[in-house]
Structure 1
């Protein structure tokens, strides 16, 4: 196992299933569409952050931590799963919710993930600026300093990419190993991987895993927060860091290998376009699989667009990584208004 030298907490239900989506495959008459069910990782409704948290919490265990702190949007899946991880470890937990989406609807502010955070008893702080990763992280580090004075040994899971060790990306190196073993066991040749690209921990981990295993599989990331130039740079920086962690030559990441597209991003983070809403409804109707408006809905919209544009062909097998996010659907009742 590529990540064997790193401490890992046991938080996830693994391996997650790899399944064909037969109805979507038939509907779009394109490649065989497979889904890697990382919405089924188990912890507090699951999602991709559970794999990441196994390594963040592992690092915290190395440092004898007894408290977790992190920051994210009001409907952040990462925040919800961090709270759950802390509860499973028996640790104190404090989280910060940022004002990233311009809505004050009761459902968005109180249903879904924020409801679950309160249910699990997290201490919640707020941060009124939505596009200030460094400032949001600083607020959490400042709070961690206060907790240290109170006798805790806190561990902060930061948001920004600057000078941070991407411990969470190790979870997606492991995911690629798992996916490779599943494909080998079934004789499936994977021709492409599609995912949503936000913090870049998942995207960078998948890229590093593909490179470390010497796999010739393109990874397509659909931007959910920033434009494709900024996101490409972010993924490249993190991927190089992860390769170093794996003792793999970072120069194996060649120019052009990181593929990011921002055409599904508008109108912005956490706000789905009509095409994204259509992709969410189509996936729910055809497969009974629930996607969220922030990450997976946009990634599926991107995948469908690739099929419609002929970028993925009938003879290929594409794997869509379902990164979870189901609870946030309850913050968007407008998605089914008039249905």
Structure 2
């Protein structure tokens, strides 16, 4: 196991998140035994995978003397919600640069139609309740990264000490949160006497998947992590995963991770990021009706659609045990209720 105890870290969750058997869903699909890692129950406001990343990112920010966080995402960004929540917890300022949403047709929703910002629903409502120090919504397709760094420069000119967090918290520091999660999972598998054959996880900005891949590798586990892409083709996503895995492995002084460990399937994101698909709608309804578990329509809904399709294709059979990573994001469900009408 990799020793992460020497690295700066904050703690926002009391103990490990649950690992639960989804017996009714497993029976409904007639495939493998499905278990779920409930990272929707992580700490900070409404939980989600970004909390694990922020434990290391915020610690780094504080170690650098930061008094202000600056980050970027969509108007329904789970990462922005949790970064803001961490800022409230730590007494830091927090500034958000957001990208306007897309409609079901793949086109930006104009502000006059209530699209940008949406009518204070989902995460956008929480940005307001948590009291973001500034919230800037830019047109879809804007150069958000440049704007974030311009804003950080402006804040420095005001005497602030900003710390910039990238989209999804998915840099080498943030990915350490899922190195830790991999170790937590291995302990839970041993305690439950589970012979797990595969992990299935959403793959977006790649920090969650890269951390898991590096974490299992560092623990000498060959357990495969199958990413279900939420915004890119397999050709475009896998280099992002590989590059981040390599950065994490280098930081932790691990042996090189084989290229084939970084798998991101690009068949389930539909026409674009955050745009509904029939498979996502089916998956969200199925998890809710069989297990009483809510998924979000952007990440876990599409990842679950991928899992369900792989089972139906025969990729996983009755002899397999599959663990699905619930990365949270449920507040976004309420902002996209029209997909389920």
How does the TM-score come out when normalised to structure 2? 0.93
Match of 1:155 among 148, 158, 163: 163
Query: C-alpha distance in 2, partners of 1:11/1:220?
Result: 27
Instruction: Name the residue aligned to 1:127.
Output: 138
Query: C-alpha distance in 2, partners of 1:4/1:201?
Result: 20
Match of 1:259 among 263, 279, 282: 263
**What is the number of equivalent residue pairs in this alignment?**
330
Unaligned regions of 5+ residues in structure 1, if any? none
Q: Is the 8 A contact 1:13 1:40 kept in 2?
A: no
Query: C-alpha distance in 1, partners of 2:55/2:243?
Result: 22
Instruction: Name the residue aligned to 1:145.
Output: 153
Instruction: Name the residue aligned to 1:192.
Output: 198
The 3-state SS of whatever aligns with 1:121 is coil
Query: C-alpha distance in 2, partners of 1:320/1:106?
Result: 34
State whether structure 2 residue 316 is matched by structure 1 residue 312: yes
After superposition, where does 1:95-244 map in structure 2 within 5 Å?
Answer: 95-101=96-102, 102-104=108-110, 106=114, 109=118, 110-122=120-132, 123-130=134-141, 135-159=143-167, 165-244=171-250
The 3-state SS of whatever aligns with 1:64 is coil
Return closer, same or farther for 1:180/1:306 CA change in 2, 3 Å cut-off: same
Q: Is the 8 A contact 1:137 1:160 kept in 2?
A: no
Deviation of residue 2 (structure 1)?
2.9
Unaligned regions of 5+ residues in structure 2, if any? 103-107
Instruction: Name the residue aligned to 2:296.
Output: 292
Query: C-alpha distance in 2, partners of 1:27/1:154?
Result: 50
Deviation of residue 100 (structure 1)?
4.7
After superposition, where does 1:25-36 map in structure 2 within 5 Å?
Answer: 25-36=26-37
The 3-state SS of whatever aligns with 1:196 is strand
Deviation of residue 28 (structure 1)?
0.7
Q: Is the 8 A contact 1:193 1:219 kept in 2?
A: yes
Query: C-alpha distance in 2, partners of 1:84/1:234?
Result: 27
Q: Is the 8 A contact 1:100 1:269 kept in 2?
A: no
Q: Is the 8 A contact 2:73 2:168 kept in 1?
A: no
After superposition, where does 1:54-73 map in structure 2 within 5 Å?
Answer: 54-73=55-74
Deviation of residue 165 (structure 1)?
4.5
Runs of 4 or more above 6 Å deviation: none
Q: Is the 8 A contact 1:14 1:41 kept in 2?
A: no
Larger displacement relative to structure 2 (256-265 or 96-105): 96-105
Query: C-alpha distance in 1, partners of 2:298/2:151?
Result: 28
Query: C-alpha distance in 2, partners of 1:120/1:273?
Result: 31
Deviation of residue 14 (structure 1)?
3.0
The 3-state SS of whatever aligns with 2:261 is coil
The 3-state SS of whatever aligns with 1:182 is helix
Deviation of residue 12 (structure 1)?
2.5
Deviation of residue 13 (structure 1)?
3.4
Q: Is the 8 A contact 2:242 2:259 kept in 1?
A: no
Larger displacement relative to structure 2 (222-231 or 101-110): 101-110
Superimposed CA distance per residue, residues 72-125 of structure 1 (whole angstroms, 9 cap, x where no aligned partner): 011110010000000000001100111252335647722000000011110101
How does the TM-score come out when normalised to structure 1? 0.94
Query: C-alpha distance in 1, partners of 2:163/2:210?
Result: 22
